[in-house]
A and B are shown apart, each in its own frame.
Chain A
């Protein structure tokens, strides 16, 4: 039986959650104060994911950088590939929140979307 202790990040409380793992199977999760802690620990130990945020270059906009994010979380192991895919990407103003900047980033099935409205200069 192996034990892994994680800090739950589902909310600012940051519970210390301990998972007991037996032969790759999670047998128990303790220390969480709500059910999100249980879900987080199981996911973090089997399929960790993150929302990735960065910026891309804007042409003809009021500002020169557009903040972007993955619409939903992607596998943690894909973070750097995702960032690399954004390098050199240029988008034209105007842009509004939610506009798709890059479809299906790195084959994750997740789009990169704008997180700010940028008017033309």
Chain B
């Protein structure tokens, strides 16, 4: 089997990448999806709030997915469902398997990594206590409730204020459960503000910042948890323990990009995002292999995933037609400093770049009335005021080609947060 572009993952990133690659003139594209349907995580995100940027209307997850799936089908893009990619090679051979084709390999000219992410499990949290039934990651509970149609419990405590946990707090409440509290280790929420308002405030669910679960009780099934306040070093403060009777504990404590395949071919990784390092074309350190969506860095909004993935798709199509054409020495490095934890991309090529490149990044704490400062070899080229910045809300800034070309010898860009 031979294809111009193989896309690994048929979620929002893979679909948008496929659509854009086809529209940019790539002929043969194959999407490989391990689930029994396209759409990825959007299928279980039955709540509304998707698509405000992309479609200028508010859609639910399945509706948003279906718009892209329809487009992919209309464009005649091929896909294989129930198919697991086992292995990829540097020469862009993809080895996959499913129950109808068995094990098979595909020669691709370009690969787009769009595998998404998975949830951090209990095992990585070091919570004391038994291992009873009733402890779910928020996304697992979401799938059970929204797709399988099972309730996961009646009295719920949620650890972590990530968006999925907040959405599930509302969902479980609507389905008749009592959500007693959401405990968040950090002094700020891990989820979007609108989810705090619409999922917790609307239903009177307390959000306990700087709190964590210190004990889980119950042998067969969870019977309760103990929550305590933590100090600035995240150590529980003695005497602040509070017991909650519950049969369910949901964990919404972070997402991890699923990069086993990327690591297999030695792609250079960013230790902050756990995703590949990419240039402004979203190409990884392995030529012709692109990455987009949550496998690259975890997003808050699917609209931005679609936008980013479209860029990866377009560039993969260009790579198939014209090859890379990039010279490493033309690259300007982009680095986050003073509160900017990471940037995507991490290099930009002024020669090859589009008219502008959107740099996305996250900050390390909550900042009020600060400036985002972009410096090209030490000289400030952009200064933007931001009333509020928080780790849970991804920031972006546009770098314009014209500006970068004014300094052809420049080697580095830094993005930092500054006062006044």
Given contacts A9-B197, A12-B300, A54-B174, contact A76 B148 (CB under 8 A): no
Within 8 Å CB of B197, what residues of A?
Answer: 6-7, 9, 14
In the assembled complex, the Cα of A40 lies from the Cα of B245 at a distance in Å of 37
- The reply to whether A51 and B48 contact each other, CB–CB distance below 8 Å, is yes
- The reply to whether A76 and B202 contact each other, CB–CB distance below 8 Å, is yes
Write the nearest CB–CB distance from B209 to chain A, whole angstroms.
15
Within 8 Å CB of A63, what residues of B?
Answer: 147
Decide yes or no whether B420 CB sits under 8 A from chain A. Answer: no
Give the contact-size bracket for chain B: 20 to 34
Decide yes or no whether A27 CB sits under 8 A from chain B. Answer: no
Within 8 Å CB of A50, what residues of B?
Answer: 198, 202
Decide yes or no whether B192 CB sits under 8 A from chain A. Answer: yes
Decide yes or no whether B66 CB sits under 8 A from chain A. Answer: yes
Which interface residue of B47, B59, B196 has the most chain A CB atoms within 10 A? B47
User: Which residues of chain B from 39 to 65 have any CB-CB distance to chain A below 8 Å in the complex?
Assistant: 43, 46-48, 52, 58-63
Residue interface bits B364-398, CB-to-A below 8 A is 1, else 0:
00000000000000000000000110000100000
In the assembled complex, the Cα of A57 lies from the Cα of B60 at a distance in Å of 18
- The reply to whether B194 and A80 contact each other, CB–CB distance below 8 Å, is no
- The reply to whether A115 and B46 contact each other, CB–CB distance below 8 Å, is yes
Decide yes or no whether B2 CB sits under 8 A from chain A. Answer: no
Write the nearest CB–CB distance from A106 to chain B, whole angstroms.
14
Decide yes or no whether A26 CB sits under 8 A from chain B. Answer: no
Nearest A-chain residue to B48, judged by Cβ: A51
Residue from B58, B193, B387 within 8 A of A51 (CB atoms)? B58
Residue from A12, A51, A79, A116 within 8 A of B62 (CB atoms)? A116
Number of interface residues of A (CB under 8 A): 28
Residue interface bits B64-75, CB-to-A below 8 A is 1, else 0:
001000000000
Given contacts A12-B194, A51-B58, A117-B66, contact A69 B146 (CB under 8 A): no
Which interface residue of A6, A14, A15, A63 has the most chain B CB atoms within 10 A? A14
Within 8 Å CB of A9, what residues of B?
Answer: 193-194, 197-198
User: Which residues of chain A from 70 to 121 have any CB-CB distance to chain B below 8 Å in the complex?
Assistant: 76, 79-80, 83, 97, 115-117
Write the nearest CB–CB distance from A118 to chain B, whole angstroms.
10
Nearest B-chain residue to A118, judged by Cβ: B62
Given contacts A51-B58, A65-B149, contact A12 B46 (CB under 8 A): no
In the assembled complex, the Cα of A55 lies from the Cα of B63 at a distance in Å of 14
Residue from B62, B194, B196 within 8 A of A115 (CB atoms)? B62
- The reply to whether B47 and A53 contact each other, CB–CB distance below 8 Å, is yes
Write the nearest CB–CB distance from B150 to chain A, whole angstroms.
10
Decide yes or no whether A11 CB sits under 8 A from chain B. Answer: yes
Residue interface bits B195-214, CB-to-A below 8 A is 1, else 0:
01110001000000000000
- The reply to whether B393 and A12 contact each other, CB–CB distance below 8 Å, is yes
Given contacts A53-B47, A54-B46, A116-B63, contact A12 B149 (CB under 8 A): no
Decide yes or no whether A28 CB sits under 8 A from chain B. Answer: no
In the assembled complex, the Cα of A27 lies from the Cα of B265 at a distance in Å of 62
Residue interface bits A5-20, CB-to-B below 8 A is 1, else 0:
0110101101100000
- The reply to whether B148 and A65 contact each other, CB–CB distance below 8 Å, is yes
Nearest B-chain residue to A76, judged by Cβ: B202
- The reply to whether A116 and B66 contact each other, CB–CB distance below 8 Å, is yes
- The reply to whether B174 and A79 contact each other, CB–CB distance below 8 Å, is yes
Write the nearest CB–CB distance from B71 to chain A, whole angstroms.
14
In the assembled complex, the Cα of A51 lies from the Cα of B194 at a distance in Å of 14
A–B Cβ pairs within 8 angstroms, 10 of them: A9-B198, A12-B301, A15-B387, A55-B46, A55-B146, A67-B46, A67-B146, A69-B46, A69-B60, A76-B202
Q: Knowing that A12-B301, A63-B147, A64-B148 are A-B contacts, what are 9 other residue pairs whose CB atoms are under 8 Å apart, sorted by A's residue number? A: A6-B197, A7-B197, A51-B48, A67-B46, A67-B61, A69-B46, A80-B174, A115-B60, A117-B66
